[in-house]
Structure 1
Amino acid sequence: MSARNPGTDFDLEWLSKVRVNTQAVLKRAQHIQGLKLPKKQWQTAWLLKAASCIDLTTLAGDDTPSNVHRLCMKAIQPVRYDLLRRMDMHDKGLTTAAVCVYPSRVADAVRSLKAANSCLPVASVATGFPAGQTPLETRLQEVRMAVRDGATEIDIVINRTLALTGQWEVMYREIVQFREACGDAHMKTILATGDLGTFTNIYKASMVAMMAGSDFIKTSTGKEAVNATYPVAIVMVRAIRDYFLRTGHKVGFKPAGGIRTAQEALVWLTLIKEELGNDWLHPHLFRLGASSLLADIERQVRI
C-alpha cells in the first residue's frame, strides 16, 4: 500500500461549487469503451496485471471456513502454475492483491494464509455492510473487531441516507470515526453509487470520503441493483484527480460488483491509465472487487 491519505478539514464551500456535466461524462465513458484493447502478449501482460489487482471476494450467507480457505489458496496461486511457467512468470510471485470476507470470517482467512506462509492482506467489509443502516456504535465495533482479528484493510460502507439528504458534514464525521477505528488498517470507502441518484451526489460523496481520510473509494457493495459502471467511474476518478491536485495525496479506486470478464478488466485498466495515469495501475492504488473474474482471466491467458 502507498502512503496514507491523512484527510483534510471538511470544506463545504468546495462541495457547494460542484456541478457534474452528465453529457460530458457519458461521452467520455463511451470513448473509453471504444478504445482499442491490447492484443496477444500485451493482452496477457495486462490480464496478469488485472489478476494482481483483484480483491478476491466471498460475501455469501453460506461462507464457511473451508470455502474461505479455498479462496485464500486461489488468491495465493491465482493462475495455474503450468500456464505461468509457459510465460516465464512462474517465479514472479503473482498473487491477487487481497482476499475480502465478512468480519466473522477474518480469523479463518488469516489462519489459512498464515499456514501457507503468505503475507497477503485480508480485507473485511464492515459498518453494517451492505446497507450501512445499523447504529453508529455497532458499525464502529464491527470495524474494531475485524482489525482485532487480523484484517489490514477495511471496506466500510457509507450511510446513504446522509448523502441523499445532503448531510455531508455528518457523513464526514462518521467516516472520520471509522478511519480512527481502523487504526493502521487501510480504509476503503464504499459509496454504493447505484443508490446515490445523481453524478453530482457521487462526486460529492467521493470528495467527502477522501476529506475524511479514505485510502480508497469504491463504487459498490455488489448488492445494489446497479454496481460498477464506467460513467460512475469517470466521476469518481475525476474526484480523485481533483483531490490529488488540491492536496498532493493519492487516493485509490476500486470498482466492484458485476465485473466478470477478462474483457471488462481490460476496459477498467484502460480507464485508469487514461484518466489517472500509470501511477494508479498498481494494487496500492487500484483494486478490482470480484469473485468470478479470475476464472475468465485464466481462460483467456490459456488461449
Structure 2
Amino acid sequence: MPSPAPALAPADVADVTATDSALRRFLHGLPGVDAVGLEGRAATLATRSIKTTAKAFAIDLAISMIDLTTLEGADTPGKVRSLCAKGVSPDPTDRTVPSVAAICVYSDLAGVAAEAVRGTGVQVASVATAFPAGRAARSVKLADTAEAVAAGATEIDMVIDRGAFLAGRYLEVFDEIRAVREACGDAHLKVILENGELATYDNIRRASWLAMLAGAHFIKTSTGKVAVNATPANTLLMLEAVRDFRDATGRQVGVKPAGGIRTAKDALRYLVLVNETAGDDWLAPAWFRFGASSLLNDLLMQRQKLTTGVYSGPDYVTVD
C-alpha cells in the first residue's frame, strides 16, 4: 500500500496552493495508484455480505444517505414537488422509514424544492456552475451558484473545469472552486470530479486532493451524464483520499458516488467500502451520500421484504 501524503498544517496548505508550480509539485508528488491492487481490493470487498439485523440497519442508513435526484430537461415544478414528498416520506404506509438526505435539482427549481421540504430536515442540493459540462465563464458559474443559494439551496453540487485540469492548469481549477465555495455562503459545497473524463486513477487522486485543498465539503464521483460514473474502484480511491486528507490536515470531507447505483445490493456494497476504507466515522449522511433517482425504490422493496417476509415487486413503490 502506498504511503499517505505528508501531514499539512494550515500554513503548509497555503504554501502548496500559493503558485501553480507549487500546487503541481504537491499533486504530482502524491503516491501513485496501483490500478490492479485498487480494483482487486474493490472486487474483494464487493463479495462481503450483510445479513439479517445488520442488513435492515444498513438499508435504513442507505435510504438516509440518498440525494434523491431529478436532472432532466423535462423537469417541472410538479415533478419536483412529488419527488420532495417521496423524499420526506418514502413509504407513506410506514412512518419508520427515514427521510432521504436531500433533494437534488437544477438551480431554477431549487426554490420549488426548498418550499416543499421546509421544516422537514431534508436538504436541497442544487447542481450549478454550468452543470454538467462546466463550459461557461466563471462569472456565470458564480451567478448560478448565488441564485441557487438565494432560492433556498443548502447544498451546491459544482462541476470542475475538466479541460483546465487535464491541461494541467491546477491553480485555475483551485481558484474557481474557492470562488464557488465563497459564493455558497453557508451552503455546503460538493465538488464533482467527473471521474469518467479524468482518464486515470492518478488524476482522480489529484483532483480529489485539489478539491479538498480548495475547501470542498464533499467530493463527488460524477454527474451521471457520462459513460463511466461511480464505480467501486473510483469510489474506493476517493475514500482513501478523504481518509488520508483528514490524517494530513485534521479536516473531514465527505464522498458522494453518483450515477449507476440502482439496487440495494449495490448500495450495501458501497457501505462496506466506506466502513473498510475510511471507517465508521463516514457512515452517516453528513459524510457519505448516494446520488441516485431509482435506488430508493429498490431499497424500499428490500426493506418491505425484510419486514414482512413478502416481496411486493415494483408496484409497491411509486415510479418517478
With the length of structure 1 as denominator, give the TM-score of the two structures: 0.92
Q: Structure 1 residues 145-154 or 20-29, which shifts more? A: 20-29
* RMSD between aligned residues: 1.4
Distance 2:91 2:60 in 1: 8
Which residues of 2 match residues 209-228 of structure 1 at below 5 A? 209-228=211-230
Aligned: 1:105 with 2:117: no
The answer (yes or no) to whether the contact 1:126–1:156 under 8 Å persists in 2 is: yes
Task: Name the SS of the counterpart of 1:95 in structure 2.
Answer: coil
Distance 1:288 1:169 in 2: 29
Distance 2:44 2:168 in 1: 32
Which residues of 2 match residues 262-277 of structure 1 at below 5 A? 262-277=264-279
C-alpha displacement at 1:270, in angstroms?
A: 0.6
Distance 2:148 2:135 in 1: 18
Task: Name the SS of the counterpart of 1:129 in structure 2.
Answer: coil
Amino acid at match of 1:60: E
C-alpha displacement at 1:23, in angstroms?
A: 1.3
Corresponding residue for residue 145 of structure 1: 147
- Flag the structure with more relative contact order, 1 or 2, with Cα contacts below 8 A and sequence separation at least 6: 1
Q: 1:21 aligns with which of 34, 40, 46?
A: 34
Distance 1:64 1:276 in 2: 38
Q: 2:93 aligns with which of 62, 76, 81?
A: 81
Which residues of 2 match residues 227-246 of structure 1 at below 5 A? 227-246=229-248
Structure 1 portions without partners, runs of 5+:
1-5
Q: Across the two proteins, how many residue pairs are aligned to each other?
A: 287
Distance 2:50 2:238 in 1: 24
Structure 2 portions without partners, runs of 5+:
1-9, 18-22, 306-320
The alignment-based identity, stated in percent, is 45
Aligned: 1:12 with 2:24: yes
1:141-191 Cα shifts (integer Å, max 9, x gaps): 100000110101000000100121111111111111111111110000000
Corresponding residue for residue 55 of structure 2: 43
Which residues of 2 match residues 93-132 of structure 1 at below 5 A? 94-114=98-118, 117-132=119-134
With the length of structure 2 as denominator, give the TM-score of the two structures: 0.87
Distance 2:75 2:136 in 1: 22
Q: 1:198 aligns with which of 186, 197, 200?
A: 200
C-alpha displacement at 1:119, in angstroms?
A: 3.3
The answer (yes or no) to whether the contact 1:51–1:297 under 8 Å persists in 2 is: yes
Task: Name the SS of the counterpart of 1:144 in structure 2.
Answer: helix
Corresponding residue for residue 309 of structure 2: none
Amino acid at match of 1:102: Y
C-alpha displacement at 1:80, in angstroms?
A: 4.2
Task: Name the SS of the counterpart of 2:36 in structure 1.
Answer: helix
Task: Name the SS of the counterpart of 2:157 in structure 1.
Answer: strand
Corresponding residue for residue 209 of structure 2: 207
Change in Cα spacing, 1:39 to 1:79, as seen in structure 2 (3 Å) is: farther
Structure 1 residue runs of 4+, over 2 Å off?
A: 6-9, 11-14, 79-82
The answer (yes or no) to whether the contact 1:80–1:298 under 8 Å persists in 2 is: no
1:219-257 Cα shifts (integer Å, max 9, x gaps): 000001111001111211111111111100000000000
Task: Name the SS of the counterpart of 1:283 in structure 2.
Answer: coil
Distance 1:64 1:118 in 2: 22
C-alpha displacement at 1:14, in angstroms?
A: 2.3
Distance 1:200 1:104 in 2: 35
Task: Name the SS of the counterpart of 2:113 in structure 1.
Answer: helix
Task: Name the SS of the counterpart of 1:213 in structure 2.
Answer: coil
C-alpha displacement at 1:41, in angstroms?
A: 2.6
Q: Structure 1 residues 124-133 or 24-33, which shifts more? A: 24-33
Distance 2:91 2:165 in 1: 40
Task: Name the SS of the counterpart of 1:81 in structure 2.
Answer: coil
